[in-house]
């Protein structure tokens, strides 16, 4: 060790060459997220007559690497709202903390006589997302907010990194928008058909979508979380496994591993 | 009072020759006039109770709650100047939020008491400020199980110790009382305000250090003690306000909440009955 | 949202192949790769008459080839007295980037409400129209990416219709189509509302032909024109469809209707 504290703990210049300090920004510009790093894939959700079912798998990918396999991407906000997150995991964690502090502050003022419902939370989150995109510092997520609105009716809406919002009887983010939406819309094409769908049917439908997504989405896995929100509260299961898989369809497809070439 | 006319009581930053800060002592006087507030540390939770004196018939019954929540798992009740109490709570909430931003976990009750003790103490140092006119009781339940840190999404490695000590005990019920001087201690049972003397002697009878009192018994005792403490100012109307916090598998699931109406009314009924019993006894004695 | 899940590896993270792993830190300026806009498709149109104005828009919201939802209204009552839109006399339609559209709607709505609270009278359409222009112009260096159309009744009770570009340039018109199918609907409106390329039969030949003079159309005819415009646009544009929302502003208030369009 020499007498220069600045040099301690640094690679020796005579061995490794001059230290590249370019990453140690002093007066450079603030850096914002330009692209997501660790990502979650699809979230799917569907309304039924008494509530909403929402699901997302437990995988967080780092590019093509399946990096974390026990990541919970559904967050229960209170007894009537669940938020599902797709996209960047660290931004999801930031939003999680934001919701946590919101919940604590909300309990200070209004006790429990009028808890924030799904519609309130969606409005809040979409304004957060829009503000951040307007600052060119987006939260790289696509969110689904599932739960009950102020009249205790099923509520399902989406907000993305641009602050775009929309609501529908069925919603899916990411790959799910391509693969799951058509399946969901077959059973629940419009708002009227929501009344004809039972909880059991909705759960079955969402599980079917998770299976199709696992078959076709390379950034997905067979462990997932699923939540059912009704007046009775939130039933959140975070360690479900896909059932009744059938890879028969893969027989004739090149690239699924059954053929040599 | 020896302080009067000496000039040593006019400024906060001046000691009297015999080493007293009279401004702090005057603040204690303000507390001594407030409604009685107590806290009981039971084996499975903490109860906070307050004798809320009715200052006007025009106030809505049951409104204007005085026991406040800090974070999710702690409660604060204070006696003395109400606005000082509200500022105290506001600061406590800021401290709890700041702790979370820093450590991504809820603040332990002991740490909050420490932070608030330091905060209150600062108000005894400068001539530009006056001390807090409240004594505050802070009660909380620190989680016994390992809670996920804020924003945690996974559960970590499924094999190995994961850096955890096996069999280590965490959390539990905690109770602290912070005085205008900034002095604070942890208590089994704490009382402040007008009826603190009788409340304290009632609390001492409970043998709280043994750790046998359950939360539900604690609620009933708390109600009774507030009613006993009210005996000296019987001419004034009051409302009983009670909150509690239990373990994660207790009735409040680790959250600080108001005691449910049914249980509170039951406790009040028993408290009144106990007082009537006392009266009967004394009547009997007098007859004898 | 295609930009969230592009399927490509993180820009500065490891690539699919180890060969792609960067070995040296990138130097120089990095370009912003976040694009803050998207196009949510859909179309709107407005036509003003002698004593009414009609605004209409389809309710489909799209992201590329995906349909986000079949019901996302593009018409908003401005300056109403409650959440159900009672008491409003002005309607704003926005098409383009829906998030900007919603933000713009909320800003204009609060401004018109505040005007009423402060002055004790509702804002005139002309004043509202100019205010909207200012809002858009103020954000001209980071514009609200929308084509707005504002409708109401002017001080004389005639139908008033204003159309805008994203940076606040505006004019009062008889009719205007905006959005994805604007280029399909506008020529139709030119011909049917302003009677462009319609001449008096037998009035002459070549340049001597006499142009038919446009007159304000009756409400019933305009409603039919709107329906025809949209059913036709749905046939020829993939981003238009699902539902047709119409708002008819008369001295009696705003009448809102909804009709199904093809969902293909």
pLDDT score at A183: 97
Do A17 and A120 form a contact (C-beta atoms < 8 A)? no
Mean pLDDT across chain A, nearest whole number?
90
Q: Which chain B residue's Cα is nearest to A59?
A: B154
Name the more confident of C143 and A36.
C143
- Give B-chain residues touching A108 at CB under 8 angstroms: 68-69, 93
Lowest mean pLDDT among A223-232, B88-97, B271-280, C206-215: B271-280
In sequence order, which residues have a C-beta less than 8 Å from that of residue A29 and are 6 or more positions away? Answer: none
Tokens coding B240: 């009983």
Q: Give me the residue from A39, A166, A175 closest to C69, CB to CB.
A: A166
Q: Which chains touch B (3 or more CB pairs under 8 A)?
A: A
pLDDT score at A78: 93
Rounded CA gap, B96 and A108, in Å? 13
Torsion of CA B11, B14, B20, B23, to 10 degrees: 20
Q: How confident is the model at residue C245 (pLDDT cuts 50, 70, 90)?
A: very high
pLDDT score at C26: 54
Backbone conformation region of residue B129, classed left if phi is above 0, alpha if psi is from -120 to 50, else beta? beta
Task: Going residue by residue through chain B, which has 288 residues, state the pLDDT in tens, using 9 for 90 and above.
Answer: 567 777 888 888 889 999 999 999 999 999 999 999 999 999 999 999 999 999 999 999 988 999 999 999 999 999 999 999 999 999 999 999 999 999 999 999 999 999 999 999 999 999 999 999 999 999 999 998 777 888 888 887 777 766 667 777 788 999 999 999 999 999 999 999 999 999 999 999 999 999 999 999 999 999 999 999 999 888 889 999 999 999 989 999 999 999 999 999 999 999 999 998 765 555 444 443
* pTM score over 0.90: no
Q: How many CB atoms lie within 10 A of CB A196?
A: 11
pLDDT tens across C150-195, in order? 999 999 999 999 999 999 999 999 999 999 999 999 999 999 999 9
Q: What is the spatial order of strands in the sheet that B45-53 belongs to? A: B189-192, B37-42, B45-53, B238-246, B256-258
Q: Give me the residue from C14, C36, C66 closest to A162, CB to CB.
A: C36
Tokens coding B17: 């020759």
Is residue A164 scored above 90 in pLDDT? yes
Consecutive H or E run containing C222: helix C219-236
Do C13 and C23 form a contact (C-beta atoms < 8 A)? no
DSSP assignment, residue B271? H
- Give A-chain residues touching C71 at CB under 8 angstroms: 167-168, 191
* Residue C22 contacts A, CB cutoff 8 Å: no
Rounded CA gap, B225 and B50, in Å? 10
Q: Suggest the residue from C2, C3, C5 to mutate for an interface test with chain A (most A CBs closer than 10 A).
A: C5
DSSP assignment, residue C160? E
Q: Suggest the residue from A90, A127, A177 to mutate for an interface test with chain C (most C CBs closer than 10 A).
A: A177
Q: Suggest the residue from B149, B151, B154, B162 to mutate for an interface test with chain A (most A CBs closer than 10 A).
A: B151
Is residue A67 scored above 70 in pLDDT? yes
Give the helix ranges, DSSP H, for chain B. Answer: 22-32, 82-103, 109-122, 196-205, 215-230, 261-287
Do A201 and A46 form a contact (C-beta atoms < 8 A)? no
Share of chain C above pLDDT 70, in %: 88
Q: Give me the residue from B96, B100, B153 closest to A71, CB to CB.
A: B153
Closest CA relative to residue B220, chosen from B267, B261, B253: B267
Q: Give me the residue from B96, B150, B155 closest to A97, CB to CB.
A: B150
Q: A72 and B153: CB-CB below 8 Å?
A: yes
Q: How far is B153 from chain A (nearest CA, A)?
A: 5
Backbone φ, ψ for residue B192 (5° rounding):
-150, 170
- Give A-chain residues touching B258 at CB under 8 angstroms: 111
Q: Which chain B residue's Cα is nearest to A95?
A: B151
pLDDT score at A22: 67
Beta pairing partners, B138: B76, B176
Q: Which chains touch C (3 or more CB pairs under 8 A)?
A: A
Backbone φ, ψ for residue C222 (5° rounding):
-65, -45
Share of chain A above pLDDT 70, in %: 87
| Per-residue exposure over A203-220, b if at least 16 CB sit within 10 Å of its own CB, e if not | bebbbbbbbbbbbebebb
* Residue C258 contacts A, CB cutoff 8 Å: no
Rounded CA gap, A243 and A239, in Å? 13
pLDDT score at A34: 74
- Give A-chain residues touching C68 at CB under 8 angstroms: 158, 164, 166, 168
Q: Which chain B residue's Cα is nearest to A74?
A: B153
Q: Give me the residue from C7, C10, C25 closest to A22, CB to CB.
A: C25
Is residue C6 scored above 60 in pLDDT? no
pLDDT score at C17: 39
Q: A174 and C63: CB-CB below 8 Å?
A: no
pLDDT tens across A100-143, in order? 999 999 889 866 568 899 999 999 999 999 999 999 999 999 99
**HSE toward the beta carbon, residue C204, CA cutoff 13 A:** 7
- Give A-chain residues touching C1 at CB under 8 angstroms: 142, 160-162, 164, 173-174, 177
Mean pLDDT across chain C, nearest whole number?
90
pLDDT tens across A212-222, in order? 999 999 999 99
- Give B-chain residues touching A94 at CB under 8 angstroms: 151
Cα→Cα distances A117→A51, B151, C52, C99, Å: 13, 21, 39, 22
Consecutive H or E run containing C163: strand C159-164
Instruction: Give the residue numbers in A contacting B (CB under 8 Å), as ranges.
Output: 60, 68, 70-73, 89, 92-94, 96-97, 100-101, 104, 107-108, 111
Provide the CATH number for the domain formed by A38-240 in this structure.
3.60.20.10
pLDDT score at B149: 85
Backbone φ, ψ for residue B20 (5° rounding):
-115, 150
Tokens coding B247: 């373990």
Q: Give me the residue from C4, C25, C99 closest to A165, CB to CB.
A: C99
Do C140 and C168 form a contact (C-beta atoms < 8 A)? yes
Q: How many CB atoms lie within 10 A of CB C224?
A: 13
Q: Which chain B residue's Cα is nearest to A89?
A: B153
For the annotated catalytic residues of A, the residue numbers are 33
Q: How many CB atoms lie within 10 A of CB B253?
A: 14
Rounded CA gap, C109 and A253, in Å? 55
pLDDT tens across C79-135, in order? 999 888 889 999 999 999 999 999 999 999 999 999 999 999 999 999 999 999 999
User: Average pLDDT in the C137-161 region?
Assistant: 97
Do A225 and A56 form a contact (C-beta atoms < 8 A)? yes
- Give C-chain residues touching A175 at CB under 8 angstroms: 5
Q: B154 and A89: CB-CB below 8 Å?
A: no
Rounded CA gap, C219 and C242, in Å? 24
| Per-residue exposure over C160-174, b if at least 16 CB sit within 10 Å of its own CB, e if not | bbbbbebebebeebb
Q: A104 and B72: CB-CB below 8 Å?
A: yes
Closest CA relative to residue B239, chosen from B115, B109, B90, B60: B60
Q: Which chain A residue's Cα is nearest to B155?
A: A70
Q: What ipTM did this prediction achieve?
A: 0.86
Q: How far is C193 from chain A (nearest CA, A)?
A: 34
Q: A65 and C14: CB-CB below 8 Å?
A: yes
Q: Which chain A residue's Cα is nearest to C243?
A: A190
pLDDT score at B116: 98
Flag whether B touches C (3+ CB pairs, 8 A cutoff). Answer: no
Where along chain A do its domains lie? 38-240
Beta pairing partners, A44: A55, A172
Rounded CA gap, C242 and C222, in Å? 21
Rounded CA gap, B143 and B139, in Å? 13
DSSP assignment, residue C175? E
Cα→Cα distances C187→A115, C6, C175, C180, C197, Å: 52, 38, 11, 14, 10
Q: Which chain A residue's Cα is nearest to C68?
A: A166
Tokens coding A165: 């919002």
pLDDT score at B193: 96
- Give A-chain residues touching B153 at CB under 8 angstroms: 60, 68, 71-73, 89, 92-93, 96
Cα→Cα distances A228→A240, B66, C162, Å: 13, 37, 47
Q: Give me the residue from C5, C12, C68 closest to A175, CB to CB.
A: C5
* Residue C107 contacts A, CB cutoff 8 Å: no
pLDDT tens across C42-72, in order? 999 999 999 999 999 999 999 999 999 999 9
- Give B-chain residues touching A93 at CB under 8 angstroms: 151-153
Is residue A20 scored above 60 in pLDDT? yes
Q: B258 and A60: CB-CB below 8 Å?
A: no
* Residue C70 contacts A, CB cutoff 8 Å: yes
Count each helix (H run) and each strand (E run) in chain C, helices first. Answer: 4, 12
- Give A-chain residues touching C30 at CB under 8 angstroms: 34
Do A118 and A150 form a contact (C-beta atoms < 8 A)? no
Q: DSSP labels for chain A?
A: --S-GGGTTS--HHHH-S---TTS-SSSPPP--SS-SEEE--EEEEEETTEEEEEEES-EEETTEEEES----EEEEETTEEEEEEEEHHHHHHHHHHHHHHHHHHHHHHTTTS---HHHHHHHHHHHHHHHHHTT----EEEEEEEE-TTS-EEEEEEETT--EEE-SEEE-THHHHHHHHHHHHH--STGGGGG--HHHHHHHHHHHHHHHHHH-TT--SEEEEEEEETTEEEEEEEEE--S---GGGTT-TTSSSS--
Q: B69 and A107: CB-CB below 8 Å?
A: yes
Q: What is the 3 state secondary structure string of C92-106?
A: EEEEECHHHHHHHHH
Rounded CA gap, C120 and C116, in Å? 5
Tokens coding A34: 């330009």
């Amino acid at each position: 060790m020499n007498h220069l504290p600045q040099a301690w703990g640094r690679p020796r210049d005579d061995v490794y060459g001059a230290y590249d300090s370019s990453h140690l920004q002093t007066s450079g510009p603030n850096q914002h997220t330009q692209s997501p790093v660790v990502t979650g894939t699809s979230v799917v959700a569907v309304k039924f007559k008494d509530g909403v079912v929402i699901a997302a798998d437990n995988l967080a990918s780092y590019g093509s690497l399946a990096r974390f396999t026990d990541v919970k991407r559904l967050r229960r906000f209170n007894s009537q709202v669940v938020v599902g997150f797709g996209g960047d995991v660290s931004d999801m964690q930031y939003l999680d903390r934001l919701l946590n502090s919101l919940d604590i502050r909300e309990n200070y003022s209004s006790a429990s006589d009028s808890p924030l419902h799904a519609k309130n939370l969606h409005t809040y989150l979409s304004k957060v997302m829009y503000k951040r995109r307007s600052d060119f510092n987006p939260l790289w997520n696509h969110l689904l907010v599932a739960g009950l609105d102020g009249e205790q009716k099923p509520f399902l809406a989406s907000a993305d990194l641009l602050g775009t919002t929309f609501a529908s009887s069925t919603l899916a983010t990411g790959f799910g928008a391509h693969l799951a939406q058509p399946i969901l819309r077959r059973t629940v094409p419009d708002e009227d058909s929501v009344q004809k769908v039972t909880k059991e049917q909705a759960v079955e439908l969402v599980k079917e979508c998770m299976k199709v997504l696992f078959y076709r989405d390379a950034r997905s896995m067979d462990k997932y979380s699923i939540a059912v929100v009704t007046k009775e509260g939130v039933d959140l299961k975070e360690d479900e496994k896909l059932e009744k898989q059938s890879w028969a369809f893969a027989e004739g497809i090149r690239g699924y591993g059954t053929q040599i070439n | 009072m020896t302080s009067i006319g000496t000039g040593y009581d006019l400024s906060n930053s001046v000691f009297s020759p015999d080493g007293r800060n009279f401004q702090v002592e005057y603040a204690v006087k303000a507390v001594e006039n407030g409604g009685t507030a107590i806290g009981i540390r039971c084996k499975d939770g903490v109860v906070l109770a307050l004798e809320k004196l009715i200052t006007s018939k025009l106030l809505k019954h049951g409104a204007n709650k005085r026991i406040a929540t800090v974070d999710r798992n702690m409660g604060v009740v204070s006696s003395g100047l109400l606005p000082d109490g509200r500022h105290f709570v506001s600061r406590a909430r800021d401290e709890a939020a700041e702790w979370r931003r820093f450590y991504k976990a809820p603040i332990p009750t002991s740490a909050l008491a420490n932070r608030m003790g330091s905060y209150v103490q600062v108000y005894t140092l400068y001539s530009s400020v006056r001390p807090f006119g409240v004594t505050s009781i802070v009660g909380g339940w620190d989680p016994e199980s390992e809670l996920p840190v804020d924003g945690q999404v996974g559960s970590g490695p499924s094999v190995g110790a994961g850096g955890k000590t096996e069999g280590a005990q965490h959390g539990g019920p905690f109770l602290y009382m912070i005085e205008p001087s900034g002095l604070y201690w942890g208590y089994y049972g704490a009382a402040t305000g007008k009826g603190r003397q009788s409340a304290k002697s009632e609390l001492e009878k409970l043998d709280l250090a043994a750790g046998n009192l359950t939360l539900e018994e604690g609620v009933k005792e708390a109600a009774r003690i507030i009613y006993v403490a009210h005996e000296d100012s019987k001419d004034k109307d009051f409302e009983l306000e009670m909150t509690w916090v239990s373990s994660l598998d207790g009735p409040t699931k680790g959250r600080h909440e108001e005691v449910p109406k049914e249980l509170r009314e039951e406790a009040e009924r028993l408290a009144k009955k106990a007082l009537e019993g006392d009266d009967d006894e004394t009547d009997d004695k007098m007859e004898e | 949202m295609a930009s969230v899940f592009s399927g490509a590896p993180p820009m500065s993270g490891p690539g699919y192949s180890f060969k792609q792993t960067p070995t040296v830190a990138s130097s120089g300026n990095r370009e912003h790769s976040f694009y803050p806009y998207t196009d949510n498709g859909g179309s709107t149109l407005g036509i003003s008459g002698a004593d009414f104005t009609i605004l209409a828009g389809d309710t489909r919201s799209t992201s590329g080839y995906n349909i986000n939802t079949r019901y996302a209204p593009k018409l908003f009552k401005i300056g109403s007295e409650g959440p159900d839109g009672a008491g409003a006399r002005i309607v704003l339609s926005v098409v383009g980037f829906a998030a900007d559209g919603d933000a713009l709607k909320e800003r204009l709505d609060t401004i018109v409400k505040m005007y009423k609270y402060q002055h004790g009278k509702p804002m005139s359409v002309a004043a509202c129209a100019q205010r909207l222009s200012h809002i858009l112009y103020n954000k001209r260096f980071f514009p609200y990416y929308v084509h707005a159309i504002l409708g109401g009744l002017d001080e004389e009770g005639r139908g008033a219709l204003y159309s805008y570009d994203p940076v606040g340039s505006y004019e009062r018109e008889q009719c205007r189509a905006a959005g994805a199918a604007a280029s399909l609907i506008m020529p139709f409106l030119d011909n049917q509302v302003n009677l462009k390329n319609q001449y008096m039969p037998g009035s002459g030949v070549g340049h001597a032909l006499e142009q038919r003079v446009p007159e304000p159309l009756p409400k019933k005819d305009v409603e039919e024109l709107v329906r025809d415009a949209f059913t036709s646009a749905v046939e020829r544009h993939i981003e238009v469809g699902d539902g047709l929302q119409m708002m008819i502003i008369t001295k009696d208030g705003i009448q809102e209707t909804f009709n199904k369009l093809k969902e293909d």
